[in-house]
Structure 1
Amino acid sequence: METQARYSLIGLFTLCVIAAAFAFLYWLRGTGGFSERETYRVVFESPVTGVLPGAQVLFNGIPAGEVTELRLNPDDPRQVIATLSLDPNTPVKADTQAGLVSQGLTGAPAIALRGGTPAAPPPSSTGGALVLKADPAASQDLSQAAQEVLRRLDILIADNAEPLHGILINLSTFSEALARNSGRLDRILEALEGLGGGGPAKTPTRIYDLSAPQVFPPNDKVASGQLTVPEPSAVVLFDTQKILVRPQVDESLALDALWSDSLPKLLQAKIIQSFENANYPQAVARPTEGFTADYQLLIDIRSFQLMLLPEPHADVEFSAKILAMNGQLVGSRIVHASVPVQATDAAAAAAGLNEAFGKAATELVLWASGLI
Structure 2
Amino acid sequence: MRIQLDERLRDDLDQLSSRKLLKVEQEIASPQSAHIHLRAHGAREILNMCANNYLGLSNHPTVVRAAHAGLDQHGFGMSSVRFICGTHSVHRALEQKLTKYLRTEDTILFSSCFDANAGVFEALLDADDAVISDTLNHASIIDGIRLCKAKRLRYANNDMDELERALRETRHCRTVLVVTDGVFSMDGIAADLPGICDLAKRYGALVMVDDSHAVGFIGPRGRGTSAQYGVEDHVDILTGTLGKALGGASGGYVSGHANIIAWLRQRARPYLFSNSLMPAICEASLAAIGLAENADDLRSNLAARTRQLRQGLSDLGFRVSGSDHPIVPVITGDAAIAVQISEFLAERGILVVPFSYPVVPEGAARIRMQVSAAHTENDIERVIGAFRAAQAGPYVEREK
TM-score (norm 1): 0.18
* Structure number with larger C-alpha Rg: 1
Answer 1 or 2: which has greater helix percent. Answer: 2
Q: Which has the higher contact order (CA 8 A, sep 6+)?
A: 2
Answer 1 or 2: which has greater strand percent. Answer: 1
